Structure 1
Amino acid sequence: MANETWCGHKSIQELKSFCSPDLEFLTIKCRPHYLPREFSSIIITAVYIPPQADTSMALNELYLTLCKLESIHPEAAFIVAGDFNKANLKTRLPKLYQHIDCATRAGKTLDHCYSNFRDAYKALPRPPFGKADHGSILLIPAYRQKLKQEAPTLRSVQRWSDQSDSTLQDCFHHVGWDMFRIASDKNIDEYADSVCEFIRTCVEDVESANHCF
């Protein structure tokens, strides 16, 4: 069902299959060996809608199935691919992205690949397999995981040594704390603010910062 080097068979689960004169599809859930952390799994649906099909019925069935799966697996990546002929899934699910923009048969794009994330694949036309009357499509992954989309951030991290602790303790030991109480004139808020500000100043004086990416 799937290439073992991409996903082991124990990590593949069939979720639903459907067969009628208007629509055939099979949906599986995969947990590949490597998966960007923003996705919990990949749910793939292989679709065939015959040329003479009632496309409205077919698309409605797909819509109901995919909506239900999205509610159950909100963090999954969804891929819907196959021969849609004259049907267009975006008429039911406009938030999906269609990645095939080249002709697959007789100058028309009958084969589609949809996903729920933008710029997932780059589609390249390839010759048909055997005697097939549809051209094949090579989908090259173009998705960049969120971790690589975000710019590095600079953070400041406190590093305390034994010498820093000793210096801070010595600073507090030689302070006349009564001066803060006297200066506040029995105003508890002013007293607390002045003591906290003094402590903060002492900490800033003795701390050493280490900057890292």
Structure 2
Amino acid sequence: MRDCCVICLTETWLSDKVPDSAIQLPGFSVHRADRSQDLTGKSRGGGVCFMINNSWCDYANVHPVKSFCSPDLEYLMIKCRPFWLPREFTAVIITAVYIPPQADTDRALRELYSAISSEETAHPEAAFITTGDFNKGNLKKVSPKLHQHIHFNTRGDRLLDHCYTPFRDAYKALPRAPFGQSDHRSILLLPAYRQKLKQEAPTLRTVHRWSDQLASTLRDCFDHADWEMFHVAANDIDEYTDSVCGFIRKCVEDVVPSRTVKSFPNQKPWINGDVRTALAARSSAFASANTSDYKHAHYQLRKTIKAAKREYRDRVEQQFDMGLCGRD
């Protein structure tokens, strides 16, 4: 267990009288949300806790997102930026959950779903993991898109402990002996997720390399075209449209040079030539071992990525605006 990236504990029974140093494992950072007597009316029990392996994600890259405590639900949500992540993810947001047996399960699930949904909106490229003791609750009732990865009984003849992610076959769950005096089985979750880069093959597409000079040349070509010829030769509107569109495509192919681009399934849609150039410059600066050059290249890369994201966002929004105008 000492090699686990994350250890999630529920029903910790911890309070402010117990310092982190009393429970901290060597090589792990502690992140906890103890039960509040003022919010739950109970002075004992409850509480959730994370122990994060420093070799997976150091303390500086673990950030608390939100915590919640009520008679029906207790949870702690943290955002981790590990040392290594597949390119399709920017962070891992993990939520430790405890729903007491006497809780209003529907209310607890709605509250939990609302918290997770708001973070999914704020961090659309993060990987979300929700795990803990749900007792009678089932998060799939309010979010059917999630996948539950634990399929064996965890306390007697009941399955009380769940792990949800948006990814099918993300984990292989194995039962283990109870932790300490717990009456629940411990669960070891082994990652089985395959990166998008390995799930799908890269695709080839043809793109045109436009310039102001080529656009001017193409405009001259259209200005000298005999468009009436297509109208006279066509028998109906469909044939007229096909012939005009075919002529325009032929002119573009003859005037504008094209090249074949390989797109990988895990490639972000906003990555363009400027970003690739900035990435290459940063790699060269890193290889040169020049600290000042590397800092400058790193700054330029971040600046270029922001500009590329902004350009992609504007392009997508413009498409929606054009669609709305067409309906009007």
Partner of 1:93: 143
User: Which secondary structure state, in structure 1, belongs to the residue aligned with residue 53 of structure 2?
Assistant: coil
Cα 1:127–1:152 change in 2 (3 A) is same
Give the superposed CA RMSD. 2.8
Partner of 2:62: 12
User: Which secondary structure state, in structure 2, belongs to the residue aligned with residue 29 of structure 1?
Assistant: strand
Partner of 2:45: none
Partner of 1:144: 194
Matches within 5 A, 1:156-171: none
CA distance in structure 1 between the partners assigned to 2:87 and 2:204 by the alignment: 22
Asked whether 1:39 is paired with 2:89, we answer yes
CA distance in structure 1 between the partners assigned to 2:62 and 2:192 by the alignment: 24
Of residues 162, 167, 184, the one that matches 1:117 is 167
State the 1:153 CA deviation: 6.5
Question: What is the count of residue pairs matched by the alignment?
Answer: 169
User: Which secondary structure state, in structure 2, belongs to the residue aligned with residue 90 of structure 1?
Assistant: helix
State the 1:57 CA deviation: 1.2
Deviations 1:85-104 (A, max 9, x none): 01001101111110000110
State the 1:152 CA deviation: 5.8
Matches within 5 A, 1:171-210: none
Asked whether 1:127 is paired with 2:177, we answer yes
State the 1:150 CA deviation: 2.3
Structure 1 stretches of at least 4 aligned residues deviating more than 6 Å after TM superposition: 187-190
- Stretches of structure 2 lacking an aligned partner (at least 5 in a row): 1-29, 31-51, 206-223, 227-246, 258-328
Cα 1:153–1:18 change in 2 (3 A) is closer
State the 1:121 CA deviation: 0.1
Amino acid at match of 1:26: L
State the 1:154 CA deviation: 8.2
Of residues 71, 75, 100, the one that matches 1:21 is 71
Asked whether 1:55 is paired with 2:105, we answer yes
- Stretches of structure 1 lacking an aligned partner (at least 5 in a row): 156-186, 201-213
Largest Rg, 1 or 2? 1
